[in-house]
Amino acid sequence: MNVVALLAADPLLDGELRWTPLLIVVLKVLVIFVLGLVGTMFMVWFERKVVAGMQNRIGPNKAGPFGILQTLADGTKLFFKEIMNPARSDPWVFRLAPFLAFVPAFLVWSVIPLGGDFTEGRDGTVTWFGQVTRVQLADPPVGILLVLAMSSIAVYGIMLAGWASGSKYPLLGSVRASAQMISYEAALGLSLAAVLLSAGTLSTAGIVAGQNSLSNWNLVATGFVPFFVFLVAVTAELNRPPFDLVEAEQELVGGFHTEYSGIPFALFYLAEFMNTITMSAIVVTLFLGGPQPITIGETTLSIGFIPGALEGTLWFVLKLLAFLYAFVWFRATLPRLRYDQLMDLGWKFMIPISLGWFLLLAAIRTGDANQWNPVVVVVSSLVLLGLGYLLFVAALRVSARNREREGAMF
Amino acid sequence: MSLFLRDYLTVVWFGLAAVLLAGLLLGVSAAIRPSRPSYDKQIAYESGVDPVGMGWSQSQIRYYVFALLFVIFDVEAVFIFPWAANIERYGVFGLVVMLAFIVLLLDGLVYAWKRGLLRWV
């Protein structure tokens, strides 16, 4: 479909031109662009500063107050840097890969609820220029699948970047990256299913709207386990420490972006930090009520002097900052996993546990709907899961014995 | 185009804008940066040592089986999502059917595990 056909298909441009909704969309796009870029710059500075603090260093402190303009200075420098294209690289794919990393990172922003008016039980819509709208760019009916799709496409960016470099370290880094990212994407999807169970919708706005009090937050409603699985899977998906084997410096130099320099490198770097922010935002949206204020029973912790719509944004940013800090904290605290440990954690622990937990939740929900005795439901489900686990252990023991008899070393 | 799909179109516009932004950054940089290629600059980086052989040299790819397993689990997730979002509608029948489906797929994972495909070496 060419651009003209797309333009003609847009109902906003169909028939008489309605300027207000169009302007609102343009405004939202601009705000998200500015927020995305400024937020990423802030995140780079924040990470350096916090890690420095945790390691008894000072961190960036020259450019601007508290060194906050350091990222801007670094970025500006990269504009003037010569780009070296390795002679053995694949010229087209080598240039395409930064786009494949950068664009999906940006696209995730479009479905994240960034704020809204949730005071006194409102549903989060706001009125701008006489137009009822949400504080998020788009609310497609399956918004959360869009996030999963984008994180899948990001694998292509890294895989192709490493392959197209025509160099050994990037190739190894990208193979590792793709194995790691697809492994944890399975765990990511399965823990997400538990959220969908309690939310009953795939739209991000709908998921936020359902979490209108602390006990309805999916963190509590799904029983904490999916949250922790999701958090670990997201950390691995982002290739952040302790799962940063993709660019393990001691082994692989820079990993997949070893051969990149100048602005193409900056695009990878931006995408990496932007993914950190957007994925934290997704965790907040899915499990911690997004822009919902904290409501316990009948009391709402409300920030009185801030108008309703802005308050949602403030809550969202506060929750987001907590996760960004946690990610930096992981980096400063946890040692990197060995590659086989990483794979074992993903396939032998997180996927079975998230599937088992999901089935347990599903049984409880179905039991609720049919008025079965909840104790009986939980006990019989646990017995069933336990039996499955025992069968499984027995099977592994048999296989270990057979392997020993065949003289295998492990 | 229906209003149902309207939001996707916004996402498409946003994606095009992001492509343009990346292109703009690259374009500005291309206009102002120096370009003096030489043979030495274009060698693949191998910690300062001259590279031996091709960059696309053969190496043993560990865990390639995971790519196959991933497809299975991703397809599984795609089937689980719509059911999870409408669990009340399908009731006990849905639960039993989904249980059978998940057990069959987990069976595949256990088999791969038992065969030792989930290990290094």
Out of A71-85, A249-263, B88-102, least confident range: A249-263
CB contact under 8 A, A10 and B26: no
CA distance A192 to chain B (A): 8
Does A10 lie at the interface with B, CB-CB under 8 angstroms?
Answer: yes
User: Residue A330 domain-assigned?
Assistant: yes
CB proximity under 8 Å: A 365-404 to B: 365-366, 369-370, 388, 392, 395-396, 398-399, 403
State whether A324 and A372 are in the same domain.
no
* Pairwise CB contact (< 8 Å): B86 & A6: no
List of chain A residues whose C-beta atoms are within 8 Å of the C-beta of residue B1 = 9-11
- 71-90 of B, contacting A, C-beta below 8 A: 73-74, 76-77, 80-81, 84-88
Mean pLDDT confidence for A209-227: 83
Look at residues A377, A386, A351 and name the one whose alpha carbon lies nearest to residue B102. A351
Q: Which amino acid is at A378?
A: V
Q: Which domain holds residue A375?
A: 356-410
Residue B97, chain A, CB below 8 Å: the answer is no
DSSP per residue over A31-98, as a string?
HHHHHHHHHHHHHHHHHHHHHHHHTT-----SSSGGGTTHHHHHHHHHHTSPP---TTS-HHHHHHHH
User: What residue type is B121 in one-letter code?
Assistant: V
**Is B95 within 8 Å of B121 (Cβ atoms)?**
no
Phi and psi torsions of A281, nearest 5°: -65, -35
CB contact under 8 A, A183 and B21: no
Whether residues A306 and A212 fall in one domain: yes
Q: What single-letter amino acid sits at A29?
A: V
Cα A153 to Cα A136: distance, rounded to the nearest angstrom = 22
The span from the CA of B22 to the CA of B27, in Å, is 8
- In 3D space, the residue among A155, A150, A162 whose CA is nearest the CA of residue A93 turns out to be A162
Q: Who has greater pLDDT, B85 or A19?
A: B85
Burial B28-54 (b: 16+ CB within 10 A, else e): ebeeebeeeeeeeeeebbeeeeebeee
Residue A298 located in a structural domain: yes
What is the rounded CA–CA span in Å between residue A128 and residue A123?
15
Residues A213 and A326 in one domain: yes
CB count within 10 Å of CB A104 equals 26
- Return residues 75-114 of A near B (CB < 8 Å): 78-89, 98-99, 102-103, 106-107, 109-111
Nearest one of A365, A359, A366, A362 to A386, comparing CA atoms? A359
Q: How far is CA A315 from the centre of its chain?
A: 18
Q: Which of B100, B102, B55 is nearest to A354 (CA)?
A: B102
Residues in chain A within 8 Å Cβ distance of B106 = 352, 355, 388
The shortest CB-CB distance from B88 to any of A175, A369, A399 is to A369
Query: Which residues in chain B have their CB less than 8 angstroms from residue A103's CB?
Result: 15, 18-19, 22
| Cis preceding linkage at A293, omega within 30 | no
Minimal Cα distance from A140: which residue of B? Answer: B7
A362 and B41: CB-CB below 8 Å? no
Q: Enter the tokens of residue A250.
A: 């001691």
Among A32, A87, A392, beta carbon nearest to B42? A87
Chain mean pLDDT for chain A: 82
**Is residue A41 in a domain?**
no
| Closest CA of chain B from A110, distance in Å | 6
For chain B, say whether A174 makes contact (Cβ under 8 Å): no
User: What does residue A370 show for φ and ψ, rounded to 5 degrees?
Assistant: -100, 10
For the cut 70, the answer to whether the pLDDT of residue B62 exceeds it is no
Structure tokens at A204: 């991000």
Domain boundaries, chain B: 1-34, 60-121
Structure tokens at B11: 């996402």
Within this chain, do residues A106 and A214 fall inside the same structural domain, yes or no?
A: yes
- Do A146 and A109 share a structural domain? yes
Amino acid A282: pLDDT: 92
Counting DSSP H helices and E strands in chain B, the numbers are: 3, 0
Q: Do B120 and A339 touch (CB under 8 A)?
A: yes
Looking at the structure, tell me whether residues A313 and A367 fall in a common domain: no
ipTM of the complex: 0.85
User: For residue A111, what is the DSSP state?
Assistant: G
Q: Are A114 and A320 in contact (CB under 8 A)?
A: no
Looking at the domain assignment, is residue A45 inside a domain? Answer: no
Q: What is the pLDDT at residue B41? A: 80
What is the count of structural domains for chain A? Answer: 2
Q: Are residues A107 and A200 both part of a single domain?
A: yes
Please list the alpha-helical segments (H only) found in A213-338: 218-221, 225-237, 249-252, 262-287, 308-333
Contact residues, chain B, for A345 at CB < 8 Å: none
Mean pLDDT of A105-116: 86
Return the number of CB contacts < 8 Å for A and B: 239
Least confident of A22-26, A151-155, A303-307: A303-307
Query: Which is higher by pLDDT, A371 or A10?
Result: A371
pLDDT attached to residue A1: 46
Query: What digits encode the pLDDT tens for the residues A129-184?
Result: 777 777 787 888 888 888 888 888 888 888 888 888 878 888 888 888 888 888 88
Residues contacting A286, CB < 8 A, separation 6+: A144, A192, A195, A207, A218, A230
Query: Considering A301, A336, A371, which residue would you say is the last residue of a domain?
Result: A336
Residue whose tokens read 């409102």: A122
pLDDT > 70 fraction of chain B, expressed in percent and rounded: 88
- Fold of domain B60-121: Methane Monooxygenase Hydroxylase; Chain G, domain 1 (1.20.58)
Instruction: State residue A409's pLDDT score.
Output: 53
Query: Does the model's pTM come out above 0.90?
Result: no
Assess whether A166 and A234 both reside in one domain: yes
Would an 8 Å CB–CB cutoff place B116 in contact with chain A?
yes
Q: The tokens 């595990």 sit on which residue?
A: B113
Nearby residues of B118 by Cβ (< 8 Å), 6 or more positions away = A343, A344, A347, A348, B65, B112
The answer to whether the Cβ–Cβ distance between B11 and A200 falls below 8 Å is no
Shared domain for A302 and A391, answered yes or no, is: no
